[in-house]
Copies of this chain bind each other. A is one copy, B any other.
Amino acid sequence: MKDQMELTPKAAREAIRNGEILKPTAGMCGGYAQGNLVILPKDLAYDFLLFAQRNPKPCPILEVLDAGEYCLRDCVKGGDIRTDIPKYRVYEHGVFKGEYTDIKSLWRDDLVSFVIGCSFTFESALIEAGIEVRHIEAKTNVPMYITNQFCKPAGFFSGPTVVSMRPIASKDLVRTIQITSRYPSVHGAPIHIGDPALIGIEDINRPDFGDSVEIKAGEIPVFWACGVTPQAVAMQSKPKLMITHSPGHMLITDIKNHELAVI
């Protein structure tokens, strides 16, 4: 198989669909956006869509399929949301029920799929600008924290904002804010810079999800709203059924990262 960074999104999804790729998608198909997935029954879809509308920084929606529909139209041409992600997770009433490489057998006519923007896009842009992204250098997961910043509730869904943190050198701070601001549909500008305690993070070295990273002298912790938020909030609300991608195993879209820049 070709180097996975060089694969086209179509070829990568085909390999995923055929079970040839089962691993996390970070670094695959350079230049293309990847997406988080949340699938919910139709009777919860309005509340979830409203939650996303009210909280666009943690929940920037790239595409919503019609109920029962599994063919993607916008962010992927001709893909199948039931097979084109390397690993899915199924939750019932908030309880983890299992991991699957496809969800065809679980499909129902009332399921609504939400594809949600992912920070890989702005991380690529930072790296292209010569700004180090620590957890990528360290080959670990980005550290994520539950904050005291409550999302605006919407019906069934409420809960705190989860943030991801990247230490940024002071000299790169302005450019980092400028670059990430250009991408509102993949979390956009940071929501906090500096003292973690101000957003309710007690110990920066003990993230709630992902791995701790070193903050070097002269670096400032910078916090972005994180795509884990909608899943965490949905899980906490214990919907009777929720299907998500398995962490890191994303939907590779046909959208070029550059297409997501508003300016």
Contact = CB atoms under 8 A, between A and B. Distances in A.
Interface in A181-195: 181-182, 184, 188-189
Given A53-B53, A53-B64, A155-B66, A178 B263 contact: yes
A54 to B, nearest CB: 7
A10 interface: no
A190 to B, nearest CB: 12
The 7 A-B residue pairs whose C-beta atoms are closest, nearest first, are A181-B263, A46-B46, A184-B262, A49-B49, A181-B262, A53-B61, A53-B64
Sorting the interface of chain A by its residue count into under 10, 10 to 19, 20 to 34 or 35 or more gives: 20 to 34
10 contacts: A45-B46, A49-B53, A53-B53, A54-B64, A54-B74, A181-B263, A184-B262, A189-B262, A189-B263, A262-B262
A26 interface: no
A110 B152 CA distance: 21
Contacts of A45: 46
A50 interface: yes
A185 to B, nearest CB: 9
A54 B54 CA distance: 16
Nearest to A184: B262
Contacts of A61: 53
Given A45-B46, A53-B64, A182-B263, 20 more contacts: A46-B46, A46-B49, A49-B50, A50-B64, A52-B53, A53-B53, A53-B61, A54-B64, A66-B154, A66-B155, A178-B263, A181-B263, A182-B262, A184-B184, A184-B262, A188-B262, A189-B262, A189-B263, A262-B263, A263-B263
